[in-house]
Amino acid sequence: MITQAQIETFQRDGVVMIPGAFRDWVDLIRDGIDRNMAEPGEYGSENSVTEGRFFDDYCNWTRIPEFERIIRESAAGEIAARAMKSNSAQFFHDHVLVKEPGTPKPTPWHQDGPYYFVEGEQTVSMWIPADPVKEASLRFIAGSHRWERMIRPVSWADDSDFYDKKQDWTPVPDPDANPEDSKVLEWPMEPGDAVLFDFRTAHGARGNLQPNRRRALSLRWVGDDARYVERPGRTSPPFPGHDMKQGQKLREDWFPVILDKVG
């Protein structure tokens, strides 16, 4: 499921690739993505691309039965808890990201944490491609989950500031311009492989100039120590009406605890 060596790699680098982790779930992932694209939710976006298509949408698992099955019935919760070294795995949200062939738009370098209203040492996203991916797979800056300051969050559509209020962010990095400053990790991936990464790990992706689609499902989890935090504006996802306060655990009726004790 996840080896001790993979757990240690995740803790050290903030990212690990687990070949074949969701191999048996690929058909269901594809079916769920098809349903999501046919019936986008209120957050569905085309990211203002003018060439190709970059569709993304999130927070649909309660209306897409394929996603709910993967979250509840696959080993995802246990893999998440073990990677985070947490007793529990609480589900935060699902995120579908599809780059169609001929889409040059890169995904900007970012950390997910600043967009979210949750923080902790125990967080993990699992990005699972439903197609073979070479150039357009996720790229990560090893060890960036330990950076003291977080990267300025930007709108994916136009790179403008995501929050109106100023905060002491670190500038968006450009590891390709300064390759000696950071170690970039990336892997060619097969359908059902998964990269696991901390919400604080800096990552981005190239455009998809390959002839095949690049469909992916990201599942986001938090562990025992994760707590609600106020951000300087509306977060992404926003979860309107959540009614949580600084320092609270995420409410379990909206964010289900899928595993409460690692066996």
Ligand X SMILES: O=C(O)CCC(=O)C(=O)O
Binding site for ligand X (CB under 6 A): 95, 97, 107, 112, 125, 127, 138, 203, 205, 216, 218
The angle formed by the CA atoms of residues 44, 110 and 221, to the nearest 5 degrees, is 65
Q: Which is nearer to ligand X, 28 or 195 (CB)?
A: 195
The angle formed by the CA atoms of residues 101, 103 and 107, to the nearest 5 degrees, is 125
Q: Which is nearer to ligand X, 115 or 255 (CB)?
A: 115
Q: Which is nearer to ligand X, 13 or 112 (CB)?
A: 112
Q: Which is nearer to ligand X, 97 or 154 (CB)?
A: 97
Compute the least distance from the CB of residue 189 to ligand X, in Å.
11
Compute the least distance from the CB of residue 132 to ligand X, in Å.
15
Q: CA 16, CA 6: separation in Å to the nearest integer?
A: 6
Indicate the DSSP class of residue 45: B
Q: CA 209, CA 194: separation in Å to the nearest integer?
A: 21
E strand or H helix that includes residue 170: none
Nearest to 126 by CA among 18, 250, 211: 18
Compute the least distance from the CB of residue 217 to ligand X, in Å.
9
Compute the least distance from the CB of residue 87 to ligand X, in Å.
25
Inter-residue long-range contacts of 237-245, CB under 8 Å, 24+ positions, other chains counted: 237/43, 237/58, 237/59, 237/93, 237/116, 239/59, 239/117, 242/117, 244/117
Compute the least distance from the CB of residue 100 to ligand X, in Å.
12
Compute the least distance from the CB of residue 53 to ligand X, in Å.
13
Q: Which is nearer to ligand X, 74 or 107 (CB)?
A: 107
Q: Is 213:110 a contact under the CB 8 Å cutoff?
A: no
Count of beta carbons in the 10 Å neighbourhood of residue 227: 16
Q: Which is nearer to ligand X, 159 or 260 (CB)?
A: 159
Compute the least distance from the CB of residue 174 to ligand X, in Å.
17
Q: CA 260, CA 196: separation in Å to the nearest integer?
A: 20
Residue with tokens 């970059």: 54
Strands 15-18 and 214-222: unpaired
Q: Which is nearer to ligand X, 138 or 194 (CB)?
A: 138
